[in-house]
Amino acid sequence: MSATEYIVRTKDVVKEFKMGQETLRALNGINVDIRRGEYISIMGPSGSGKSTLFNAIGGLDKPDSGSVFINDVDMAQLDANELAFLRCHTIGYIFQTFNLVTVMTALENVRLPTIFAGMTTDDGTERAIALLDMVGLGQRRHHKPSELSGGQQQRVAIARALANNPSIILADEPTGNLDSKTGTEIIDLLRKLNQEQGVTVISATHDFKMLDVSDRIIWIRDGTVDKIELRSDIDIKVGGMGGEM
């Protein structure tokens, strides 16, 4: 497969939600281009459309108009099976609320995507163990999520997201439910994956600690791109920034 330059592109994406009588325009014709291997943070205040954009890019929700391209493939052209394939193999998801299956151990959680990909149990288990070791949780692989701290659960979620070797990691507020120190650890882990394995990381976030590790920051306001900044453009003084927006 020839590598395209832009791994994710959105073109004039519009998404509306009906709230009773009113219609809310969450995304207002948004255009975003993300290169392979980049670490992108999508930032914006609550209600700016970050999560809606995240869902559109990740194929979790269909836009009302406009197109989303993953590896130059228009997601609207894909049938349900192909979309599921994309979610299984190309994209790994990380959520604010971790979304681990509570009745399964860490190992089983990480192995789950490999089952959908058709891997044998042995191969899947081997891969899951290797991934859990990589995120530093090899010893806790038989623990259930209720027996793990927030930071540990998020690590399991990251390991799970990597199970099928995706080219994109989509993270929706990955540090939202974590304290400052743990959040920094998670951000460092994501950065390490981005640099060492070339995984494109796209993160929708409130967290200013992300600015430090991002290649580009896309600011969203009212459903469109407000501005795009390069890391080199920003003078980061995290301590003095006054926390969240």
Footprint on this chain of other proteins (rule: CB under 8 A)? 1, 55, 58-62, 71-73, 77-78, 80-82, 84-90, 93, 95, 99-101, 103-104, 112-113, 115-120, 160, 163-165
**CB nearer other proteins, residue 119 or residue 211:** 119
Return all residues near 215 (Cβ < 8 A) that are at least 6 apart: 38, 39, 40, 230, 231
Backbone dihedral angles phi then psi of residue 70, each to the nearest 5 degrees: -115, 120
Bridge-based pairing of strands 65-70 and 216-221 is: unpaired
**CB nearer other proteins, residue 73 or residue 238:** 73
**CB nearer other proteins, residue 162 or residue 213:** 162
**CB nearer other proteins, residue 91 or residue 134:** 91
At its nearest, how many Å lie between other proteins and the CB of residue 148? 16
**CB nearer other proteins, residue 4 or residue 182:** 4
At its nearest, how many Å lie between other proteins and the CB of residue 57? 11
At its nearest, how many Å lie between other proteins and the CB of residue 233? 32
At its nearest, how many Å lie between other proteins and the CB of residue 242? 29
Note whether 244 and 180 are within 8 A (CB): no
Cα–Cα nearest to 11, from 33, 34, 43: 33
Distances (CA, A) of 202 to 19, 32, 167, 231: 28, 11, 11, 15
**Tally of CA atoms within 13 A in the half-sphere of 151 that contains its CB:** 14
At its nearest, how many Å lie between other proteins and the CB of residue 80? 6
